[in-house]
Amino acid sequence: MSQLMEQAFLKAKQLPESDQEAIASIILQEIEAESRWDELFARPESADLLSRLADDALAEIRAGRARKLDLGEPAELISII
């Protein structure tokens, strides 16, 4: 186990049980989500879909319907075209 994970577990042990349960649930959900992404990207059709999405994005850029994302701009002002 990594040192950072050990530190996290040591600190989590000091928390009330309900907080420990919440943290454990979040960790397990993240592990499951990561596993799901791995499964999805391993499928042959994923490469085709990602390629089509990239082609669509490039077409949007060429057509002038895309703009650079300004991370300093409030999220509610950012619209997806």
The pLDDT tens digits for 21-38 are: 999 999 999 999 999 999
Angstrom distance (rounded) from CA 31 to CA 27: 6
Sign of CA dihedral 37, 43, 47, 49: negative
Tokens of 43: 């499928």
Backbone angles phi, psi at 15, to 5 degrees: -85, 160
- pLDDT given at position 35: 94
Amino acid, single-letter form, for residue 67: R
Predicted confidence (pLDDT) at residue 44 exceeds the cutoff of 80: yes
Query: What pTM, to 2 d.p., does this model score?
Result: 0.56
Angstrom distance (rounded) from CA 66 to CA 60: 6
Which band of pLDDT confidence, cut at 50, 70 and 90, is reported for residue 67?
A: confident
Delimit the domains of the chain by residue range. Answer: 3-67
Q: What percent of the chain has pLDDT over 90?
A: 70
